[in-house]
Amino acid sequence: MIKQRLKKNLSRLVQPGKSPKKLARSFCIGTFIAFSPFVGLHTVMIFALSWVLGLECAAVFAAAWLINNPWTMLPIYALDYHAGQFLLCRLGGLDTAAYNPSFIEPITTRVASLLGASNISIWSFIVGGNIVGLCAACLLYPLVKPLFEKLIREQEQKDL
């Protein structure tokens, strides 16, 4: 049921004559934006990157909303943070909490006390979010490009 509904919604983006490469790139940029650590700027990023890179705004928005929505927001941001912690602290050996800017300290202290953590690093969140988003977008491209090619072919055959 979910597969049929997803296919139906994706087919709305597909129209005869659209480039599957452009749709796939748009979907992958939307994926990157979904994992982006810049909370509150996702919509601005969607419109700005769609315009600058000449992408399909609807596909970028659909991917970003499909992946990052109220149901998935906390797990995504937790993944972003833990990926950054792993890369910077475990592999890099950095104490990233020591490099937090002073203006962010009250926020990180409050969040750490709510979560029962000792230190929270904004840098782990930023680095992890960008790396996870980039990896997800790059891994998704070879999967969605054939999907969009197939959907465009089906739409063209249906119109004939």
58: burial class by Cβ within 10 Å (0-12, 13-18, 19+)? middle
The pTM assigned to this predicted structure is 0.82
- Mean local confidence (pLDDT), 23-46: 93
Which ranges in the chain belong to alpha helices (H)? 2-13, 20-35, 42-53, 57-67, 73-85, 105-115, 122-159
Question: Would residue 3 count as lying in a domain?
Answer: no
Determine the pLDDT at residue 47: 93
| Residue numbers of the domain that contains 88 | 8-159
Location of structure tokens 């004939």: 160
Question: Would residue 149 count as lying in a domain?
Answer: yes
- Provide the domain count of the chain: 1
Question: Would residue 16 count as lying in a domain?
Answer: yes
Share of the chain above pLDDT 90, in %: 42
Question: Would residue 2 count as lying in a domain?
Answer: no
Question: Would residue 75 count as lying in a domain?
Answer: yes
Q: Categorize the per-residue pLDDT at 160 as very low, low, confident or very high, splitting at 50, 70 and 90.
A: low
